[in-house]
Structure 1
Amino acid sequence: MSDSLDDLREPARLPPGQREAPLRPIHYGRVPRIDLDTWSFTIEGTTVDGSRTRLSWTDLMSLPHIEVRADHHCVSHRSTAGLVWGGVPARAVVDLAPPAPEARWLFASAAYGYHANLTVDDLLSPRTLLATHLDGEPLVPEHGWPLRLVVPHLYGWKGPKWLMAFEYLASPRRGFWEERGYHFNGDVWREERYAHQE
């Protein structure tokens, strides 16, 4: 892909209600042990042809890679500025297994039953990627190794660590944190933190 790091730079200001802080490896539950020899990434649900696509780690690594400079915004009001995420642009995965026209939502699933909902439009943002690297180094397990969804304009909970699958949906469904009182959309610039704001 021809996008340069500068083309994919985030605006140089913090969203409302955020303060700058170091990136901390916050997660729900234990850090999983993952074997790349048996690991796979699945795209399923309301796909354009009704099929399921499964990618091995080798398949995923054969796709284009980009770097995106983007701040990470936690719903707890903490933001970490200037991170450089490297990985596969989400659009490259969508191109392999596109959604049907009526599939406007996505369920992103990860290890231990964790999942997040977002729109297909959010997934198709040129800055959304399936991250394998952070600041030039492979992700560590606490930060989501081997694969983490990064959606810079949404709060961090919308980007699951230890990502394993995309499921396209024709009807919206709430993810793990959204079922526990967090906002359905999670747009950081609109301060969409909690469900009572919907």
Structure 2
Amino acid sequence: MRRWTFRCFGLVEAEVSWAWEEFLKLPCVEITSDVHCVTRWSKLDNRWEGVPIREIMKHVRVKPQAAAVMVHSEAGYTTNIALEDLIDDDVLLAIKHNGRDLEPDHGGPCRLVVPKLYFWKSAKWVRAFEFLDVNAPGFWEVNGYHMHADPWKEERYSAQETRAMQQMRAEALRKLRDR
């Protein structure tokens, strides 16, 4: 864990980062939530313990134009989340699942947990949040998955996106290419 760090950068007043030991000193909470996978399975009543995103946000001065976060994980994996979804009360950076430290296979040492979205948005091996002015597609979104991923609306694949969401996706990609 000596090398693990978590950082927040992009549209912030100043970049913030935590080493593992510093991260563990942040206040933790426990939530119980269901997991819904895009492949149509669910696991009910998962107990997660970790640092709430609202706690992280107390340390990060996000610029007003920030609208979304690109979550960066090990091995270059990314997923996008609208800022309004990220700051929900029950979203956290989990370090424990059902009372045990997260195993590497399940995203340990730290994974994002976003209970109201399909589980691919709950990225494993999280290392950074990049605050953006556009909701740019991450790894699975570029490969045809839905930009938002609400399981109650069955938002699995990009073909199900509204015209406005498809335009948002295209505009975000254009803006990122032009930077």
Q: SS of 1:91's equivalent?
A: helix
Deviation readout 1:87-106 (Å, 9 max, x if unpaired): 00011111111321110100
d(CA) in 1 for partners of 2:130 and 2:58? 14
| Structure 1 counterpart of 2:131, from 168, 177, 183 | 168
d(CA) in 1 for partners of 2:22 and 2:150? 31
Q: Supply the RMSD in Å over aligned alpha carbons.
A: 0.7
1:177 matched to 2:140? yes
| Map of 1:22 onto structure 2 | none
Q: SS of 2:51's equivalent?
A: strand
Deviation readout 1:137-167 (Å, 9 max, x if unpaired): 1001100110000000000100110000000
1:92 matched to 2:67? no
| Map of 2:5 onto structure 1 | 40
| Structure 1 counterpart of 2:73, from 110, 118, 126 | 110
Structure 2 unaligned regions, length at least 5: 162-179
Q: SS of 1:132's equivalent?
A: strand
Q: TM-score, normalised by structure 2?
A: 0.88
Deviation readout 1:96-126 (Å, 9 max, x if unpaired): 1132111010000100000100011111100
What is the aligned residue count?
161
Larger helix proportion, structure 1 or 2?
2
Following TM superposition, by how much is the alpha carbon of 1:59 offset from its aligned partner in structure 2, in angstroms?
Answer: 1.3
> Which runs of at least 4 in structure 1 moved beyond 2 Å after TM superposition?
none
Deviation readout 1:1-59 (Å, 9 max, x if unpaired): xxxxxxxxxxxxxxxxxxxxxxxxxxxxxxxxxxx111110100001x1x211110111
| Structure 2 counterpart of 1:101, from 57, 61, 64 | 64
d(CA) in 2 for partners of 1:172 and 1:147? 23
| Map of 1:153 onto structure 2 | 116
| Map of 2:40 onto structure 1 | 77
Q: SS of 2:139's equivalent?
A: coil
| Structure 2 counterpart of 1:144, from 103, 107, 111 | 107
One-letter amino acid of the counterpart of residue 34, structure 2: D
| Map of 1:191 onto structure 2 | 154
Identity %: 39
Which aligned pairs between 1:24-35 and structure 2 lie closer than 5 A? none
Structure 1 unaligned regions, length at least 5: 1-35
Q: TM-score, normalised by structure 1?
A: 0.80
Q: SS of 1:177's equivalent?
A: helix
Q: SS of 1:133's equivalent?
A: strand
